[in-house]
Amino acid sequence: MTQLVQSPPKPLAIRAPQALSHGLVHPVYLTGLRHGSRALDAKPVIVERRDQEFVQGLLDDLTDANQHTAVLAAAPAKQSGTMRVFPPLQRVFNMLVLEAFCDVPGQPRLEPKKIESSGFVLRRVDGTRKLAWLKAGTKVFGWEAVDEDLDPAQDRRGKAVTLGHPVLDALAPSQQRIRTAGSTRLAASAVPVSEDVQPLFIAPPDVCKGAGKTLLFGNLKVVSGELTEAAPNAPAFGTDSEERDNLRADMVIYLLPGGARTFPVPSQRNISTNNAHTASQTAVDSPSQPALSRSEYNALDQSLGLLLLQLNNQYDAFGTGTGALAMQSAIKQLQVETDVPAANGQPARVDKRNAWQFLLDAKAVFFDAVPGASVSIPNRWGAVSDAIGNAIFEASLVCMQQQFAKLLPASGRFENGRNGVEPHFVVRAFVRLKPEHDGCPGRIVWSQYSDEFTIAPWFESSGAPVPVIPLPDLMDRNQLSKVKPTVAFALPPKLAKLLKGSSDDLMKGKGSGDPGIGLGWICSFSLPIITLCAFICLNIFLSLFNLIFQWMAFLKICIPIPKAKE
């Protein structure tokens, strides 16, 4: 029998491999600009620039490694321990600076050609979470909690699983999580969402060579006109005792528990829409007063008017929402009382009628101005029991929640919260690396989060030099003659006739809407003169309101202009 003898193994140099295997990919780090440090967790650096050519100025400083200390020292100033970032309106520009390197001995810089793309995200701090500004196509969802390590672009995220068919893949919970970036609120959405990404650029080759680093930079955008297109969750009013007390104190007295409360009954108890309109157009000191005098109208406006205003505007109690219906149900249990004196052999009595019907009649006269409508003013608003008062208050909370949802359906990207507290933000940068080998996937490398910062509102001064607007000298007739009209207004006939009328009549409310001969007018003015008039009026009102606000010490600063010396 022939015995098979195995050949001796071939040397490694000539042995054919059974399968190709790639070496381990070395780690890559993206950190803030480091100077004299080799830390792997350096946070992204935010640099405040106030020079007009801020991009070129930053690149010049980055080219010279000796200037890196100054770059790191140019972080935004802190207020109450948190960086304060100003918008470009204040002539301040905020730049992000990072470096990319390999975590191998010597920490060599990452070759720029290995970077496929880069960017950074701005996230809002919510406790321990970082909320992302999410979009889907052209629709903006707003701030949402997400899986913070997923690729911010939905088309760059890999599939979580594959079940062999696109329809099955789309239905898989793990793939749904990838599609919605891990957002809990959008978990049922069938639309893929992406996080807003701001561009991050690789510094030019000469800058990287001079710095000896692969540097990346970007301009931090801290202003936006974007609004959420999906209505936010309306806040629940009255969630704590202090807020409940404040909201209860804001209610008109007629809606609070207690005994009967009086109305100022005018000499003419029955008031029509025409009576109310005539009284509202009559001066208090006019010797000729209508059936309902102006003083009687004012008294009703300060009592019944405030009640109608709160019910209609603040609560929308005349509407059809659940809160409004609950409010109506509670008020329908109340009554208004009218004292009827003895007459024609009949004894004095007190007539009572439904309070809600009275409010509907009053609204038709004083608010809606319905022609032919009338209302009889009662002497008293009946007593309100504790139970009914509490029902009215609880209904008002629901009404305000529903009003909030209607009046504020969208929130701005950088606006303060409902409680007025300024939100805190952080930024986090990323680079997408090209695949190390053909057929292998690329990878995304994230930086750490930056230090938290707040965004100053547009009206807060950054201390930057202010622009100077020269005004013409009105006392110089030669200069004044050169100030020609630079803007024209086209006035329709009614407005033209109104403005051409007597100023005294206008002040007394006697202007007529009659178009007259029906001619429109074009009136031209000098814009600098209009500016000067506005400046004079501004100074007058600043002085008047200074009695209340005491703001002159810091609001207005006037210094002389020195004469030029030859």
Mean pLDDT of 49-54: 94
pLDDT at position 171 is 58
Q: What is the pLDDT of residues 512-542, one digit of tens each?
A: 555 555 667 888 888 888 888 888 898 898 8
Top pLDDT among 512 and 415 is at 415
Share of the chain above pLDDT 90, in %: 52
433/157: higher pLDDT? 433
> pLDDT category, 16, cuts 50, 70, 90?
very low
Name the H helices within 252-408: 273-280, 294-301, 304-309, 322-331, 355-366, 386-407
89-196-224 Cα angle (round to 5): 25
Tell me, what's the pLDDT at 410?
72
Contacts of 166 (CB under 8 A, 6+ apart): none
**Smallest Cα–Cα separation from 98: which of 198, 203, 25?**
203
Does the structure show a pLDDT above 90 at 43?
yes
Longest dimension (CA), the chain: 146
Phi, psi dihedral angles at 445 (to 5 degrees) = -120, 125
Average pLDDT in the 158-186 region?
A: 60
pTM, two decimals, is 0.70
Closest Cα partner for 90 from 449, 365, 458, 377?
458
Q: Say what percent of the chain tops pLDDT 70.
A: 84
Q: In the prediction, which pLDDT does 168 show?
A: 58
Rounded CA separation 194/150 (Å): 10
∠ CA 354-359-361, rounded to 5°: 95
Return the minimum-mean-pLDDT range out of 95-99, 177-181, 471-475: 177-181
Ranges 97-111, 280-294, 481-495: which has the least confidence? 481-495
Least confident of 152-156, 232-236, 258-262: 232-236
Question: Is the pLDDT confidence value at 246 over 90?
Answer: yes
SS3 readout for 54-121: HHHHHHHHHHCHHHHHHHHHCCCCEECCEEEECCHHHCCEEEEEEEEEECCCCCCECCHHHEEEEEEE
Compute the average pLDDT of residues 414-433: 88
231: CB partners within 8 A, 6+ apart: 405, 409, 410
> Given the structure tokens 């006392």, which residue do they identify?
475
Bigger pLDDT: 557 vs 447: 447
Which residues contact residue 215 at a Cβ distance below 8 angstroms, ignoring those fewer than 6 apart? Answer: 33, 62, 97, 98, 99, 202, 203, 207, 208
pLDDT value at position 97?
A: 98
pLDDT band at 21 (very low <50, low <70, confident <90, very high): very low
pLDDT in tens, 259-289: 999 999 999 999 999 999 999 999 988 899 9
Instruction: Give the CB-side neighbour count of residue 201, counting CA atoms within 13 A.
Output: 12
Q: How confident is the model at residue 166, as a pLDDT?
A: 63
Eight-state DSSP code of residue 30: E
Q: Is the pLDDT of residue 319 over 70?
A: yes
Give the tokens for residue 335. 């009554």
Mean pLDDT of 64-86: 94
Q: Which residue has the higher pLDDT, 528 or 322?
A: 322
Asked if the model's pLDDT at residue 223 lies above 90, the reply is yes
- Range picked from 133-142, 170-179, 184-193, 369-378 for highest mean pLDDT: 369-378
Place of tokens 């609004």: 227
H or E element at residue 538? helix 527-549
Q: At residue 172, does pLDDT exceed 70?
A: no
Amino acid of residue 244: R
d(CA 468, CA 227): 34
Rg of the chain (C-alpha set): 36
Q: Which two tokens stand for residue 526?
A: 């000098």
Q: What is the pLDDT of residue 219?
A: 97
The four Cα atoms 310, 312, 313, 316 give a dihedral, to 10 degrees, of: 110
Across all residues in the chain, what is the average pLDDT?
A: 85
- Under DSSP, the state recorded for 312 is I
Q: Please, are residues 362 and 308 in contact by the beta-carbon 8 Å criterion?
A: yes
Confidence band, pLDDT 50/70/90 cuts, at residue 507 = low
* Nearest Cα residue to 68 out of 220, 222, 203, 219: 203
Interacting residues of 211 by C-beta distance below 8 A, sequence separation 6+: 62, 63, 64, 65, 68, 203
Return the pLDDT at 53.
95
Cα of 447 vs its chain's centroid, Å: 29
For the cut 90, the answer to whether the pLDDT of residue 214 exceeds it is yes
| Tokens coding 245 | 């007390």
Residue 343 has pLDDT above 70, yes or no: yes
Residues 297, 277: Cα–Cα separation, whole Å: 10
Q: Label residue 176 by pLDDT band (50, 70, 90).
A: low
Work out the angle at residue 30's Cα, subtended by the Cα atoms of residues 26 and 83, and round it to the nearest 5 degrees: 160
pLDDT score, position 15? 40
Q: Are 362 and 300 in contact (CB under 8 A)?
A: no
CA dist 161 and 189 (Å) reads 18
The mean-pLDDT minimum among 145-154, 171-180, 283-292, 344-353 falls in: 171-180
Average pLDDT value for residue range 55-77: 95
pLDDT for res 517: 57
The answer to whether residues 269 and 260 touch, using CB atoms and an 8 Å cutoff, is no
pLDDT of residue 403 exceeding 80, the answer is yes
- If you ran DSSP here, which 8-state letter would residue 412 be given? B
User: Could you state, in order of their start, the residue ranges of all structural domains in the chain?
Assistant: 23-146+194-230+420-455, 241-407, 477-555
Alpha carbon distance 326, 323 (integer Å): 5
What does the pLDDT read at residue 26? 82
> 180-200 pLDDT, tens per residue?
666 666 665 667 888 999 999
The pair of structure tokens assigned to 254 is 């007629």
**Which residue type sits at 32?**
G
Classify residue 215 as exposed, middle or buried by CB count within 10 Å of its CB (0-12, 13-18, 19+).
buried
Task: Look at residue 561 and tell me whether its pLDDT is greater than 60.
Answer: yes
What is the C-alpha to C-alpha distance for residues 428 and 446, in angstroms, rounded to an integer?
Answer: 7
Cα(217)–Cα(214) distance, rounded to whole angstroms? 10
Give the residue from 469, 430, 422 showing the smallest Cα distance to 446: 430
pLDDT band at 10 (very low <50, low <70, confident <90, very high): very low
pLDDT-based confidence at residue 173 (cuts at 50, 70, 90):
low
Q: Residue 418 gets which letter from DSSP?
A: T
Cα 231 to Cα 135, 140, 185, 408: the distances in Å are 14, 11, 13, 8
